[in-house]
Structure 1
Amino acid sequence: MQDPSPHDQIATAAEAEENDRLPRLHEVHADPNRAPADEATLPAALKKPGRKSPARWAYERLILYIQNFEKQLDGDQEAAMGFTGGDAGVIRIEGLGYFDPDIVTFYGSDPAGARTQVIQHVSQLNVLLRAMPKVVADEAPQRIGFRLARDLESPVEDADEA
């Protein structure tokens, strides 16, 4: 017997609510060569339903956008980010984290090389991704997005499950 199509399946109210919470992603670009972020490339952790804090949701989605942005960079560029609504400037992305329930933290260095950390509430989150020249021309570019995506695949102990 053939499995019913997803449209023919009946879901409980709880399953329907859970499915509504799963992330949906859609992008269209004027340049056909620009690769949009794609649901097929979502790490498994992003496809997994479950209760997540706003900080965890923001963290996971930022990873997807950073990783997709880095795929479009050449070997002489690394990802950096700026923050809208202030004069924080641009930082080279060296780390990303979250603190439940509502804080996202960015680690990096500014163009002068000074260590930088930005702590932001998810309701104030506005991030600009920018390509910057690598720090050391002879080294391979750092790709933080791919390391962050691998980290998503590692189990994180949830306070509700502990």
Structure 2
Amino acid sequence: MTDDIHTTAEAIEASALPRAKAVHSDPSQCGALETAPLPKAATRRKVEEKSPAEWAYERLILYIQNFEAQLDADHEVAMGFAGGQAGVLAIEGVGFFDPDLVTFYGRDEDGLKTQLIQHVSQLNVLLRAIPKEQPEEPPRRIGFQMMSQWAGGESGDASA
């Protein structure tokens, strides 16, 4: 309990903001995403107005972008699959379908077109750094591409 005194407006605003926290063995690697202010695109509508799929999609974009910001120029983001020998998917896109589906578009280790469709209640994403497919090309930063589309109002939300 703190002795801070808040106005009614501050209390209402604080209750509407999403909570996030992270800890890490290396403090310099900890919580950059969780403590940063949400981008304007994420605050256009209240969290309560978003479906679980949309809210998961928006936070996935932020996590992917944060992960990519830590990669060197020789690596790109991919996602590994939990359970079994399903491999990895080099992420080329992410989407959602209200009220409860999130989808990932990309290529597998053999370069084959791959799409994962997942219910938000089963959502687990393992981000991995993989070597670039074409070393001479600049790294593809899908998180930053998605953020620019999302910030520009192209999130897939018809009411944005």
TM-score by length of 2: 0.83
C-alpha deviation, 1:21, in angstroms = 4.1
In 1, Cα distance between the equivalents of 2:77 and 2:126?
10
In 2, Cα distance between the equivalents of 1:7 and 1:42?
24
C-alpha deviation, 1:10, in angstroms = 1.1
1:26 to 17, 21, 30: 21
C-alpha deviation, 1:23, in angstroms = 2.0
Change beyond 3 A, Cα 1:123–1:44: same
1:3 maps to none
In 2, Cα distance between the equivalents of 1:91 and 1:48?
31
Change beyond 3 A, Cα 1:144–1:75: same
Moved more, 112-121 or 29-38: 29-38
Q: Is the CA contact (8 Å cut-off) linking 2:20 and 2:35 kept in structure 1?
A: yes
C-alpha deviation, 1:22, in angstroms = 2.7
In 1, Cα distance between the equivalents of 2:37 and 2:131?
26
1:43 maps to 39
Aligned 1:11-160 pairs, distance under 5 A: 11=9, 16=12, 19-34=14-29, 36=31, 37-40=33-36, 42-50=38-46, 51-155=49-153, 158=157
What is the identity, as a one-letter code, of the residue corresponding to 2:148?
Answer: R
Change beyond 3 A, Cα 1:102–1:19: farther
What is the identity, as a one-letter code, of the residue corresponding to 1:138?
Answer: E
Q: Is the CA contact (8 Å cut-off) linking 2:23 and 2:30 kept in structure 1?
A: no
Q: Percent of aligned pairs with the same residue?
A: 56
TM-score by length of 1: 0.82
Q: Indicate the SS of the match to 1:138.
A: coil
Equivalent pairs counted in the alignment come to 153
In 1, Cα distance between the equivalents of 2:61 and 2:26?
23
What is the identity, as a one-letter code, of the residue corresponding to 1:89?
Answer: G
In 1, Cα distance between the equivalents of 2:121 and 2:140?
29
Unaligned runs of 5+ in 1: 1-5
